[in-house]
Amino acid sequence: MSKYLKLIRSGKKKTIKKPINFLGYTRQNPSSKTRLRLLPNQKDIIFKVKNQKHYSIKAHFSNTENSQGDHTTFLSNGQGNKVKTVEHILSALYGLGIDSVLLEISGSNEVPILDHTAEIFVKKIIKSGTIHTRFDKQILQIKKTLFFEHAGSLAILKPSTKTVFSVLIQFDKPIGEQYMSIVFNKNNYSKEIAWARPFIRQSCDKKTWEECKKNVPLLPSKIKNCPIPVFKNNKWIVKTKSEDEPIRHKILDLIGDLATLGIPILGHITIIRPSHDFNRRLINYLGKTINKTIK
């Protein structure tokens, strides 16, 4: 395929055994709940929005869109139709090795937040079970060390017999500098990554909190009632579950964004200072490289 990348066959694609239902609020609409229904599908991960306007969007890198500082991942069909905040459900699917499912959304065009992590998704998907589809599954093997850099963030992809994620983040205290490396499999993902919450990355005084609530109306009126970690003057107001919860959530997001490549990666993936925008750029680079070498 190329001196850096190679596509290899690896059995059949997987989907869920039976439908799964979720109901919850979204980031932008805390007044009414959105329903998310997962259905078995033979090929690909596809979102279907069923509101006043019905449309479908494939979870594919060509449909990802810059969320413009919103710290989340959007999908768009290029006609003004979007599906928002897809990274946590995609992370759960990728983390459990599922690459074919239909996701129906009604009540909004955004995936419900639930507990702000991938854990509830993971538990229900495991309970449903998985089955193989009739379509072949491919894996993207890293053959030679590859570097990708943008705006101070760096990805290093190396050959490996296992998939490994290594991530470094650097923020002001109390988050600070954190590094984590994990061998990727569904057990490690479920136990070590799925439960990690996002975090507010800046010190929150009253004025800053009001700005946060404008961007995310789901947040409560009082900072101390925030469901995700938040700090003020280098001290946690809402504490993390573990000291390294922030880096674990960054890995959760990275895995969700990688799902849009459409092909699992076999290699050691190191990301320095990841973000949804950087992840999107990396995945677009990999996806376009695959497409060019296939033709």
Annotated catalytic residues are 276
> Tokens 């705006």 belong to which residue?
151
Asked if residue 174 has a cis previous peptide bond (ω within 30° of 0), the answer is yes
Distance CA 99, CA 79 (A): 25
Q: Which residues contact 178 (CB under 8 A, 6 or more apart)?
A: 168, 169, 244, 246, 247
Distance CA 71, CA 80 (A): 20
With left for phi above 0 and alpha for psi between -120 and 50, is residue 247 left, alpha or beta? alpha
- Structure tokens belonging to residue 128: 């449903």
Q: Which of 166, 224, 182, 180 is nearest to 200 (CA)?
A: 224
Check: CB of residue 269 under 8 Å from CB of residue 164: yes
Report in angstroms the alpha-carbon separations of 191 from 9, 50, 221, 265.
Answer: 28, 33, 32, 21
Distance CA 260, CA 45 (A): 9
DSSP state of 1: -
With left for phi above 0 and alpha for psi between -120 and 50, is residue 273 left, alpha or beta? left
